[in-house]
Amino acid sequence: MTRIKVKPRRTRLSAAAVPSKPLDSHSPQPRLFLGWIVLFVAALGMFASAPGQSFSVATFKEPMEQSLGITDTAYSAAYLVATLLSGACLPFVGRLTDRWGARLLLPLIGIALGAACWWMSLVQSFAGLFFGFCLIRPLGQGSLTLVSTWLVGHWFEKRRGLAMGLLGMGGTLSVMCVPQFSQFLTTELGWRAAWIGLAFVVWGILVLPAIVFVRNRPEDVGLLPDGQVPLATRDATSSSETDVIATEPISAGNNYTVDEAWRHLTFWKLLLPLCTGALVGTGLVFHQISIFAERGLSASAAVTILSIQAVTASIGALLFGYLTDRFPERRLMAMSMVCLASAQLLLTSLSHIGLAALYGMLLGTHGAILRTAGSAVWVNHYGRLHQGAIRGIVLTFQILASALGPLPFALAKGYWGSYSMANWMMLVLPIGSAIAVWTAYPPQEQPAVVPAPASVGA
């Protein structure tokens, strides 16, 4: 049988399968795995993405509309277009991350997002507002989230699900803290001062830690994911003194490019529940106060349920992160769709606060699963080498679905005078997505046409 030689497709970071700095076999191994510090900085990135997220921008809506003399329709339209622009930029950002790495991009994005917040404090017109949205949405909602997730995908493998759960805690904490911080500054000092405050928060918590601590991949410091030490460089006498596991470098045989990944039906089956969650979940949350009012529940009850949803998502992120490392992601993602469908069914007969609390827990559980299993599945299935480009495509579809989510409920309200019909019609989406993702088996390992490690000879 003739062996086929394939010329590797090189990028600056294409040597991901082989440690670039062999460890000194006579030096003791550090007790603290650097990946945990990198994970903490990545979680700071998720927290710092808040200025570009909907829950943060919502706190500025009324004061900015009143101050700038902008209608609610104009404000929402500018935000929608900026959201679509954010999604369109992500494939480019993903490829850029694969090429240059998070060590360069994370502090640069942090500096740029802080500057964008400062710009928002100077806005005087609709054009300025629109330009500001076109900065904070791609930088905050899109790029910071993508790059932070990229880091975790490289530094963890066997504990990747748990790491994704811990990463999601940064986003959850921002939901709990940033709107209150922005509201306080807006009330005391005005909305312009609040945007300046957010700029200093982003610069203060993200830029310096990213410069000091972030390394693109464990191979850059002579390690493998999870802190494993390459077998060839591991001191034989250290096995009883450290917790690291001797192993061989990870093969590059299952690293798919975007073009290779989306040719598999599995790719689209995995994408379906993520888009369904973005579409239906965003629509439900966006109209939650009005939907609850139709059921005879107060606005304060609706806000309380959002808090219950956030707490459930925080606890669930750790639980389902742990389970992601032990069960197939497709089954957990199917479970998330069952939770979403159950919440939609419960919404049809919501009559008191107890059922509303259960509704919030179901939505929180649904979100927790998608933030853990739904994040880890892409690098687990398609490899680390091109995960930025692949995740960029995935997030583009999610953002598009999220932007369209409120529309069906608004149309139903306008045509039938109630949100119920939209809820019933969209119930088919999580049911169909659960069935589809249950059959999303991992793709077979790629043959010799995929990029090979640079050190592999003929």
CATH number of the domain where residue 271 is located = 1.20.1250.20
Q: Tell me: do 212 and 277 sit in the same domain.
A: no
CA–CA gap between residue 280 and residue 286 (Å, rounded)? 10
Alpha-carbon distance values, 77 to 194, 231, 275, 341 (Å): 23, 56, 21, 29
- Residue type at 301 in one-letter notation: A
Q: Indicate the average pLDDT of the chain.
A: 83
Give the residue among 129, 122, 145 at the shortest CA–CA distance from 48: 145
CA–CA gap between residue 29 and residue 61 (Å, rounded)? 52
CA–CA gap between residue 430 and residue 367 (Å, rounded)? 13
CA angle 365, 368, 371 (to 5 degrees): 150
Instruction: Considering only residues 350 and 72, tell me which one the structure prediction assigns the higher pLDDT.
Output: 350
CA–CA gap between residue 363 and residue 367 (Å, rounded)? 6
Highest-confidence segment of 77-86, 146-155, 294-303? 146-155
CA–CA gap between residue 356 and residue 146 (Å, rounded)? 33
CA–CA gap between residue 150 and residue 224 (Å, rounded)? 15
Q: Tell me: do 344 and 411 sit in the same domain.
A: yes
Judge whether 454 and 15 are in contact, CB under 8 Å: yes
Burial of residue 3 (CB within 10 Å: 0-12, 13-18, 19+) is exposed
Give the residue among 277, 281, 45 at the shortest CA–CA distance from 145: 45
Is 243 within the bounds of a domain?
no
Q: Tell me: do 194 and 309 sit in the same domain.
A: no
Please identify which residue in the block is written with the tokens 């277009």.
81
Q: Tell me: do 71 and 170 sit in the same domain.
A: yes
Residue 455 CB neighbours (<10 A): 10
CB-side exposure of 368: number of CA atoms within 13 Å?
Answer: 28
Going by pLDDT thresholds of 50, 70 and 90, the confidence category of residue 448 is very low
Going by pLDDT thresholds of 50, 70 and 90, the confidence category of residue 206 is very high
CA–CA gap between residue 58 and residue 193 (Å, rounded)? 16
Instruction: Considering only residues 242 and 115, tell me which one the structure prediction assigns the higher pLDDT.
Output: 115
Q: Tell me: do 331 and 187 sit in the same domain.
A: no
Is 1 within the bounds of a domain?
no
Q: Tell me: do 158 and 289 sit in the same domain.
A: no
Is 25 within the bounds of a domain?
no
Highest-confidence segment of 74-88, 112-126, 434-448? 112-126
Q: Tell me: do 49 and 169 sit in the same domain.
A: yes
* Residue 30 pLDDT: 55
Please identify which residue in the block is written with the tokens 């409120």.
406
Is 118 within the bounds of a domain?
yes
Among 20-29, 103-112, 136-145, 185-194, whose mean pLDDT is lowest?
Answer: 20-29
- Segment holding 247, helix H or strand E: strand 246-247
CA–CA gap between residue 402 and residue 177 (Å, rounded)? 23
CA angle 13, 15, 20 (to 5 degrees): 100
Structural domain that includes position 414: 258-438
Is 144 within the bounds of a domain?
yes
Is 233 within the bounds of a domain?
no
Contacts 24+ apart (CB under 8 A), 121-124: 121/192, 121/193, 121/194, 121/195, 121/196, 121/199, 122/192, 123/64, 123/68, 124/68
Q: Tell me: do 96 and 194 sit in the same domain.
A: yes
CA–CA gap between residue 5 and residue 192 (Å, rounded)? 60
Is 297 within the bounds of a domain?
yes
Q: Tell me: do 283 and 194 sit in the same domain.
A: no
- Residue type at 418 in one-letter notation: S
Q: Tell me: do 111 and 192 sit in the same domain.
A: yes
Q: Tell me: do 263 and 211 sit in the same domain.
A: no
CA dihedral 350, 353, 356, 362 (to 10 degrees): -140
Give tens-digit pLDDT for 238-276. 444 434 433 444 444 478 988 989 888 999 999 999 999
Q: Tell me: do 317 and 408 sit in the same domain.
A: yes
The contacts of residue 175 (CB under 8 Å, 6+ apart) are 50, 53, 55, 310
What are the helix and strand counts (H, E) for the chain? Answer: 20, 2
Name the domain count of the chain: 2
Does residue 236 carry a pLDDT above 90? no
CA–CA gap between residue 92 and residue 105 (Å, rounded)? 13
Is 251 within the bounds of a domain?
no
User: If DSSP codes are grouped into helix, strand and coil, which group holds residue 331?
Assistant: helix
* Residue 20 pLDDT: 47
CA–CA gap between residue 180 and residue 415 (Å, rounded)? 36
The model's pTM is 0.79
Give tens-digit pLDDT for 290-342. 888 888 888 788 878 888 888 898 899 899 999 999 999 999 999 999 999 99
Does residue 369 carry a pLDDT above 90? yes
Give the residue among 2, 42, 28, 244 at the shortest CA–CA distance from 147: 42
Q: Provide mean pLDDT across the span 181-198.
A: 92
